Structure 1
Amino acid sequence: MAKLKRLLLWGGILLIGGILMLGAAANEMMSSILGDNQQTNITEDMLNGLPDWITPEMVQGAIDMMHENGYPASVVLGQMILEGGAGGSELSNPPYYNCLGQKSPSYGENGTVTMQTEEAWGTVTAVFSTFASYKDCMLAWAHKFTMPPYVSHVTICPRDPATGHYDADSFIEAIWRAGYATDPNYVQKVINIMTIYNLYQFNNMTAEDLEDQVTGNGQFTHPCPDMTYQSSYFGEIRPYEQGGHKGHDYAAPVGTPTYAADAGTVTIAGWSDSAGNWVVIDHGNGLVTKYMHHSRIVVVAGQSVRKGQKIGEVGSTGQSTGPHLHFQVEQNGIAVNPDYYL
């Protein structure tokens, strides 16, 4: 009987030890993915989907940027989970909104904050950018790769011939080599995150897939309500255009009226070899709309316009294959999906 009790006791100890070892192994696996110095609130339940901190707006923004410039959605989402500790880091949350670990100066930053961070050589104090929103942080991330030293590394990355998007694994390695992070394991950590959360699936989403998901805020009136049909969509990949299409095209007969989507000030009303007779309206706070290929313009630069005021008539001037209005919306110089505002 005593021997049986001893066996049961040792069996219980071994069982508890095994459980502890499994728990330690799981923690070690997550540490290898996120880095020992990354704060994270990742749980086993989250492995079946995205961390709760990642919002639909973040995913939508990542996909929109991919269609705009080819940067893989999986990479920016993977970096957000890594850099932001899946929402566990102070820097990644309000009021800082720096979900990508971007040091100052950054495009569109609205301030700075000094914090400690881990580099390859140890803990250092660094000045980070702060942003007004996660969207601004993501726009700054995209803008970074149009500038040295990143642009030379990014432009040689292989692209998917079907979509024109950069290969995700090659892209993260390229920006790491350009100096995005000092951690020698940074590339593999992001790849591990993209794999665990199946972030690669977002790289296969098309502009048409997004159309069914986007709900506008109603700020804009339609710039060409009498159109015949919509002939092209934001983000559409076309063989004669690098990157995704930067706006919507509304096919309509020559002479069909076009209207200001919102109140603002006309900054351009004239000729462009590519846009033909075009109008640009500044709505303030970095929001701009562009209207291209008119047959006739009825406003002038410097003029204030009302929402819904006629600004011109549809044509096929400039680089155009037929009568239509190209309508483009930009926020802080970056083209965004017009459906957000319509």
Structure 2
Amino acid sequence: MAVTIRDVAQRAGVGVATVSRVLNGTGYVKAETRERVLEAAAALGYVPSQLARGLVRHLSDTVGLVIPDITNPFFPLITRGVEDAASEAGYTVFLCNTDNDPALEAHDVQKLRERRVDGIIFVGTTERRELVDRLLADGVPMVVMDRQLGHADVDTVLVDNRWGALAACRHLIELGHRRIAHAAGHQSTRTGQDRHEGYREALEEAGIAYDPAAVVWGDFTYESGYRVGQVLLGRYPRPTAIFAGNDLIALGVIRAAEEAGLSVPDDLSVVGFDDIQMSAVVRPGLTTVRQPAREMGRLAMAMLLERITGKVSGPGRRHVFQPELIVRGTTRRREPLA
């Protein structure tokens, strides 16, 4: 039979309320009495119920993490960072994968609320604010990651996507490339839009005319990269370089290039974005823009805990990480073409 708080109280010769104050660290109890209660609990092997403690404190010591695609290696890195920080603080993380489906996203958020999680870290399938507005209106502590909603009331953690794309395309231009295409990600996300803006800004900065036909929008998957790569490489004149919206897209583009009989980087230079683990493993290694995904996850969890515990209140905070260009083997110098 499980040991109860009454058993501890009886052994220590005190009331149940006193045992509760000692075990929950609330209220004043004499040092001598506290020691007697703790000794009794240890002797009996008493394990406090996490649910019961949560009901007293009105907290569950759990948080929700909502991500759009667990098969994208970028998001497990974020998840690892969140879980690292959560574990250190004694919290459990409920992970929800929405498969980029807004309906499933809304369903998962509702399930998290039914579980009475203390807060939510949210990576939305789109840039729509309705769900976030509803959570904030209901007083749910939350942090938005990898999405730029422009919401003054929510904490946000993201990377400077425009700058990262600008650095990637500047690298290609410095290598002598003029026909640079863009295998873009989701047009419905600010992430995809910002990376496109960085691409366009780099061209304008170098005096290269922007060609809408050199941009094909897809999504952030390997399969999309393969399809988009086939389209871009089938156009004339063929690009000598492609900036991809993320590493999975870049890897799909490289497969399309190989099937077209093209060598990377001899015939085509390719740059990705994210620096997933696979980028350093493939040969040639993928030139890419590194996002500090694990650090982003840790910071998001730390910011959420500050909201949950009331250490921080008021307007939303915004932390933007600076990405880093990582040059590997998929880019090579080429003389400028007319």
Do the structures match in fold with TM over 0.5? Answer: no
Considering fraction of residues, name the structure with more helix. Answer: 2
Q: Which has the higher contact order (CA 8 A, sep 6+)?
A: 2
